[in-house]
Each structure stands twice: as C-alpha cells, then as structure tokens.
A = this chain, B = another copy of it.
Amino acid sequence: MLQTILNHRTIRNYSNEPVSREVLQDILMAGTRASTTGNMQVYSIVVTSDPLLKERLWEVHFRQAMVKQAPLVLTFCADFNRFNTWCRLRQADPGYDNFLSFMTAAIDALLAAQNCALAAEEHGLGICYLGTTIYNADKIIEILGLPHAVVPVTTLVVGHPADSPVLTDRLPLDAVVHFEKYRDYTSADIDRLYAEKESLELTAKLLAENQLDTLAQVFTEKRYTKKDNQTFSQKYLEIITRQGFMKNRDGG
C-alpha cells in the first residue's frame, strides 16, 4: 500500500474503457471502512456514469474534459439526511442542524473519499479530485437531486489513465511537519523551503506564460484570486445555511 500512496499522480486524461462492477464495488467498500464519527456514517457517495448527467456535471466543474472522459464521477457529500430520517422514525429528536454537524459530516465524507481514491489506484485506475465541487455546490445539488441536510464536499473522477504524468513536486517534509509545537516560519525558512519549487522548470514556464515575476503571484493573481475566493465563500456559506447546517447561527 505504501507504494500506492507514494506513487499517487493526479490523472487528467482517461481512456473510455469502463470500470467493472466488481472493481467499483471494491472502491465503494473501501470508502465505507474509513473512520466515521461515532460510527454515524453521515456521508453519501453519488456514483454517476450516465453520459447526460456527466455532461451536466462537466458543465459545473468548469468544463474540465476529464469529467466527460472518465467513466465514473463520485460525488462525496456531507449527509445528515439519512441519519435525521432514522432519528425521526425512532422517536429521537435530531440536533444536527448546525455547523459542528456539517464539519462532522464533511470529515466523514473526506476520509471515505481518500479510501476510495487509494482503492481505485490500487486497482490500477487513475483519479482526480475536483475542487470545483465547492464552487458550484448549488448546481450539483440540483443536478444530483440532493435533499435538505446534504451538501457536496468533494468529487473524484475515476477511470483508466490515458497518460502517465511524472510525480508532482512537494515541499520538503519539514515544511509541513512541526515537532512538539508549531514553529513559525522566518523569511529564511521560507526561502529554503520554497527554493526547490521556485527553481523548477515548470515554475519558469508559468512565469513566462503569465508574464509575472514570482510563482506566488501566479496563485494570487491567476489561479486562486481574492475576488473568486470571496465570491465562492459567500456562495458556499449560503448553501450550507440553505441545506440546514447553520440554524443556531442564523436564528432559523
């Protein structure tokens, strides 16, 4: 397994070969064995393979070709709907209409997603996470018919890889790991920890393409801008509220 974890590459091109039912079953089973708060299993996985539905999902995932190419789109949702329904049918009054419950359910969904991703890779398949799930969660709710108390958190596309990209760079381990307590970064630390990343050929290419001076500016001015972040923050908070996870904050 360590090899599968260490060899992870995000795959952005897929063949049209389908994924067998048995392999899909393995992937989903792996998802359900992840840790879940209090064994409540407050998440759902929506497996979409229908071309028309996938085309609608492709539209909201910023038209990334892989959403149409890959045979499977797995949408992982924070889901208290099933649990609340169970409670109401069992003379129990659910108190899960709040932000803590959203976090609990989102954590369940994400741990399950990573198990599914690794199980898929163990079967020789490729995966890609779609961050656009949060940007257009409202449209995903509409397309997949998600009821109250269900919010999409992440998406995996899964299929047979049509390319074999090189391993993506990572910061040195001591950039993300702190021993005992958090040790804040001096400017010398930052220079050292980002040196390799900043000297990559890929970085030089990005600077030339974008006519910018630093890689950090590629992120702040092109990829993840303040304006977009603010727009999508507001939107996602509204969706969490509308789906019923902000009751005590908003007095509803």
Contacts and interface: CB of A to CB of B under 8 A. Distances in A.
A231 B106 CA distance: 19
A174 B216 CA distance: 44
Nearest to A235: B100
A95 B168 contact: no
A86 B122 contact: no
Interface in A181-215: 181-182, 184-185, 187, 190-191, 193-194, 213-215
Contact of A1 (B1, B129, B223, B225): B1
B50 A216 contact: no
A108 to B, nearest CB: 9
B98 A233 contact: yes
A26 interface: yes
Contact of A173 (B32, B81, B236): B32
A154 interface: yes
A22 interface: no
Interface of A: 1-2, 4-6, 8, 10, 25-26, 28-35, 37-41, 43-50, 53, 77, 79, 81-83, 85-87, 89-96, 98-101, 103-104, 106-107, 110-115, 117-119, 122, 128-129, 131, 134-135, 143-147, 150, 153-154, 168-171, 173, 175-182, 184-185, 187, 190-191, 193-194, 213-217, 219-221, 223-227, 229-230, 232-234, 236-237, 248-249
